[in-house]
Amino acid sequence: MLGYILRRVLQLIPVFFGSTLLIYFLVFAMPGDPILALFGDKTPNAALLASLQDQYHLNDPFIVQYFYYITGIFRGDLGDTFSGQSVNDVLARTLPVTGRLAVMAIGIEFVLAIIIGTVSALRKGKIFDNTALVVSLLFVAMPIFVLAFLAQYFLAIQWGWFSPTVGAQNDWGDLWLPAIVLGLSLYATSMRLMRGSVIDTLNQDWVRTAYSKGMSRRQVIPTHVLRNSLIPVITNSATNFGVLLVGATVTEGIFNVPGVGNTLFQATLRHEGPTIVSFVTVFVIIYVLVNLVIDLLYGLLDPRIRYVK
């Protein structure tokens, strides 16, 4: 198992450097002068403009700027925004909010997918299965901003179950409504994966052998079926977790969640390179670590994976 973990960790190194290099290049290649964009319609004097460009190394070649950036990361310094704030402070303020939202959404998605997907597979072709498939199609086809506005209108305004917006209060309890919206928007794909995986596993020889030995359904389903059916759902949920960390901008905007999505969107409008690259780099690190954890879970769920060279 130790050798398997070491191989996976070593594979993350080129992924990290390749992704950060690509991200930095894309930001470097963005048209326009970010310092001028910071002043809006006003034009700064030449001395101030040159000073700010030197401060943020904007006059240096691309590879030199990347070197400054990557050395700062290894020192734990993500740089400063063009407004003078530390990116570390901005990230420390916004990432926990989006992190809580992502964890809650993935939890809702995962639980719904396992329960409904398993029951649908066991009742294949019956009313419950057909209804679950139709509902999942609705969630797949519905844009997330439509689902968000419907949830906001009915669950918050009409029925009063939740607060319609989050705002400065962003504890776990305040994030339930946007988490439900995100969880429902993602659950359909995971449910279909779980359903298909369970159906496929039910037809395997070892399941039929377990039944032939006299094991009951309550013994076979959790032990032999669910454990071997979880891998595609875990993979999809891990991917969704990474997507939520960077892609929940629309939901955060609708529910006024002070997370990284809104901050990253505003930084993109301002061409604020240090904020964009630093945020996305942190997302890359989190994403590869999540995938490392998923790889290790693969090895626990199916020991054969550890020995694949």
Q: Where are the domains of the chain?
A: 1-75, 91-270
CA–CA separation, 50 and 157 (whole Å): 52
Helical pair 2-28 and 273-301, crossing angle rounded to 10 deg = 160
CA–CA separation, 20 and 28 (whole Å): 12
Within 10 angstroms of residue 8's Cβ, the number of other Cβ atoms is: 18
CA–CA separation, 49 and 29 (whole Å): 20
Give, for all 309 residues of the chain, the pLDDT tens digit: 667 667 767 777 787 788 778 888 887 777 666 666 666 666 677 777 777 777 777 777 888 888 888 888 888 777 777 667 788 888 888 888 888 888 999 999 999 999 999 899 888 889 998 999 899 888 888 888 888 889 888 988 888 888 888 866 667 778 899 999 999 988 888 899 999 888 888 887 777 777 777 777 777 777 777 777 887 888 788 778 777 876 577 888 888 888 888 788 777 777 777 778 788 777 777 777 777 777 776 666 665 555 454
CA–CA separation, 209 and 83 (whole Å): 67
Assign 3-state DSSP to the chain and report helix, strand, coil percentages, each to 5: 80, 0, 20
Quick one: pLDDT at residue 229? Answer: 82
Check if the beta carbon of residue 197 is closer than 8 Å to that of residue 124: no
Quick one: pLDDT at residue 302? Answer: 60
Q: From the CA atom positions of the chain, what is the Rg in Å? A: 24
Q: What CATH number labels 91-270?
A: 1.10.3720.10
Tokens coding 16:
């990290």
Of 250, 206, 252, 256, the closest CA to residue 227 belongs to: 206
Amino acid identity at 210: A
CA–CA separation, 24 and 4 (whole Å): 31
Which spans in 62-126 are helix H?
62-74, 87-122
Quick one: pLDDT at residue 143? Answer: 86
Amino acid identity at 174: D
CA–CA separation, 187 and 209 (whole Å): 32
Kindly give, in sequence order, each residue whose CB lies less than 8 Å from that of residue 11, ignoring residues fewer than 6 positions away. none
